[in-house]
Amino acid sequence: MSAQRRHTIGRPDDMHVHFRQDERMAAVVPFTARQFGRAIVMPNTQPYICTVDEAAQYRDQIMAAVPSGVKFIPLMTLYLQTTMSPDTIRAAKQSGFIHGIKMYPAGATTNSDGGVKRVRDVEEQLRAMEEVDMPLLIHGESANPQDDVFMREDIFYGEAFAWLISTFPKLRMVCEHITTKTAVEMVKRAPEHLRLGAGF
């Protein structure tokens, strides 16, 4: 019989959390903070988190809900829209507490009506993100309501993601909650620095 081995898992990070607002935040934040040291906080609240000031206010609300004596760091994100200015992206990078910008397909998920209809519509914003090394967090799904709901991830990765990695070779990307073989194969074929993750 082989000797028993003991493994100790350090305090992990939650790389995708929705705190929402009000009573839902009050319920979720304490549980997350007790289990995790840090968490990437999604910005699809109502209203959306689109500026550095809004992210700072949201972070303060989160920290107010963290139980006394618990050490926890919320890693904030912004909600990508066609109206976001490159200066906002530069300010987000300089803030030191915003760690990514989230791209939602318009109308495809919770609070995503203000999201992106076509990835090429945010080319200016993506160039600014590449310039300052701000990671793009991707909800990879076609925003076309005519597309079969079971094929929307395949369509996004076959078209939009292929364009993203060829047009922005230095932009770090996080492909969140992928579920299809097509998405996995596209990520595997992406440049090595993309496959290594965002390095929060």
**Record: fold of 13-195:** TIM Barrel (3.20.20)
CB 111 within 8 A of CB 154: no
What's the token pair of residue 46? 């109502």
Q: What is the pLDDT of residues 61-84, one digit of tens each?
A: 999 999 999 999 999 999 999 999
3-state secondary structure 125-191: HHHHHHHHCCCEEECCCCCCCCCCCCCHHHHHHHHHHHHHHHHCCCCCEEECCCCCHHHHHHHHHCC
Q: What is the pLDDT of residues 142-195, one digit of tens each?
A: 988 899 989 999 999 989 998 999 999 999 999 999 999 999 988 888 776 565
| 164/30 Cα distance (integer angstroms) | 37
Sheet holding 38-41, edge to edge: 13-17, 38-41, 73-79, 98-103, 136-138, 173-175
* pTM score of the predicted model: 0.90
- Where do the domains of the chain lie? 13-195
Q: If 0-12 CB within 10 Å is exposed, 13-18 middle and 19+ buried, where does residue 76 land?
A: buried
What's the token pair of residue 57? 């206010």
